[in-house]
Structure 1
């Protein structure tokens, strides 16, 4: 959320953030234009009464720890205040009332994720360890929005490669396993994405890119030796200022040893108690959100 909006969310809301990149998001719901803001519902309704051009509106409510009856009452209060006729079936203006931290905000939905990652759930080739399309999209979105080129040196069946293509990045990719190269090639062709897949050791890449995003082999039969992981990190830090790596354990110490100045780690639960660890490393300290 921080990368796409520019701000950290508080209670699931990124207030004051940029909505330009929400269309490519994996987990965000929408981007709002704030129409009214007040400490209490009555004051908010007074502001709502002054809104113009709201014909055909619809109001939904987001409020933690509230009942359905409460949310319905709040929605009706706002709807009654707006000087226009609602349209619940085909709204022209989709409004959202958010009640959080003792404050009320009324906003208009101006953008929503296109959910284009869903089409990749139908890719013809996959493995038992393949990332879901939605998670793969979220991982690609950890890369700064200014990035134009990325590398996936352990592409597997291509989940990350597909998502990077879908949001318009130039992608370089490969794998040391010829079977994985073939799977990614078939998946790319299925969606008419143009990208050459290289049969190559992850440590042998020299192509400078804006970021590296890859899912390291960490299954029961495909775990990479510790010294190889360190060598992958070392080369990655040379050719890209940022790297996003998925692994079966916390490898932040190895990333720091390989030359990254700062490493963030996010644990992502998987089935049967297993966890993936998502690492985002930068050669320079990652700036604080505005």
Structure 2
């Protein structure tokens, strides 16, 4: 949320001027593009006759996810009545099974909002089973989140994953249209990364070689620090990776299973944001550094 919208909330709903495709994140269910709003449901009904198209069928949903307190929750019968009342006012015919356009109504912040509803497609779910896998690799959901944290707004951004391993982050980033290249010192994982990328019909560059040899500069580098059987790195080697990441990129997102604060600061980077994720016995920190 902080990477996409610049703020976060403890609620399951957020209002923002920033437009994000909900399919980009495993943690976003849907987006409502606000067309009309008002103080009451009646205000929405009064404006609904200006919404829709004669060439499209439609359906109205009352979003169950909202910020109403439990004692003010609207019961199912009332939700259905609100959906029908608004739907009857829309331009075009309704189709409850296969509408051309889904609209949604939701109470939030003491007002009512109505607009086009776009549901998230679980694109990431299709990437779970890869031809080449490592047990210690990031989960697909976390890899997609890391890519979004690193590059929330892809236009004009050049990214690199210089320790790409089997390519879990690369697959997610490329599937979202992020301009990213991969690199690794291990020829076996480079081959596996290329195979995984091609398996999902994506196109991406993966070169073999250490981060020290990189001469290009990038807007962001994603560093999932090596710790598995195939590409283990000592503390000194990890510091070298971080130091070179600072050299080649303006922004560095570090994924680590151990505290790296001291080495990150020593490399000349500042930690701007952080979060924690777990997978089986591993606890990982995701650090946003500049």
4+ aligned runs moved over 6 Å, structure 1 = none
Aligned to 1:45: 42
| Cα separation, 2, equivalents of 1:107 and 1:90 | 20
| Contact preservation (8 Å) 1:215, 1:245 | yes
Mean CA deviation greater in 27-36 or 103-112 = 103-112
Structure 2, gaps ≥5 residues long: none
Deviations 1:57-99 (A, max 9, x none): 22132246659x9441341242243233754322344233434
Question: 2 CA distance for matches of 1:207 and 1:29?
Answer: 37
The aligned residue for residue 15 of structure 2 is 15
Question: Relative to structure 2, which stretch is displaced further, 173-182 or 87-96?
Answer: 87-96
Change (3 A) 1:140 1:185: same
Normalising by the residue count of structure 1, what TM-score does the alignment of the two structures yield? 0.81
For the structure 1 residues 4 and 147, does the alpha-carbon distance in structure 2 shift closer, same or farther, using more than 3 Å as the test? farther
Go from structure 1 to structure 2 and tell me whether the alpha carbon gap of 1:87 and 1:21 turns closer, same or farther (over 3 Å shift).
closer
Total equivalences in the alignment: 276
1: distance between equivalents of 2:222 and 2:114?
A: 35
Asked whether the 8 Å contact 1:46–1:81 carries over to 2, the reply is: no
Distance 2:274 2:6 in 1: 19
User: Is the Cα contact below 8 Å between 1:147 and 1:210 reproduced in 2?
Assistant: no
Report if the CA contact (8 A) 2:58-2:100 is conserved: yes
Distance, in Å, in 1 between the alignment partners of 2:77 and 2:113 is 15
Distance, in Å, in 1 between the alignment partners of 2:115 and 2:150 is: 28
Task: For 1:73-112, list aligned pairs within 5 A.
Answer: 73-82=77-86, 83-84=88-89, 86-100=94-108, 103-112=110-119
Q: 166-175 vs 71-80, which deviates more?
A: 71-80
Query: Counterparts of 1:257-272 in structure 2 under 5 Å?
Result: 257-272=266-281
The 3-state SS of whatever aligns with 1:14 is coil
Out of 177, 186, 191, the position equivalent to 1:182 is: 191
Residue 248 (structure 1) shift:
0.4
Q: What is the alpha-carbon distance in structure 2 between the residues aligned to residue 80 and residue 119 of structure 1? A: 35
Distance between the aligned counterparts of 2:60 and 2:13, measured in 1?
20
Q: Structure 2-normalised TM-score? A: 0.81
In structure 2, what is the Cα distance between the partners aligned to 1:122 and 1:151?
A: 23
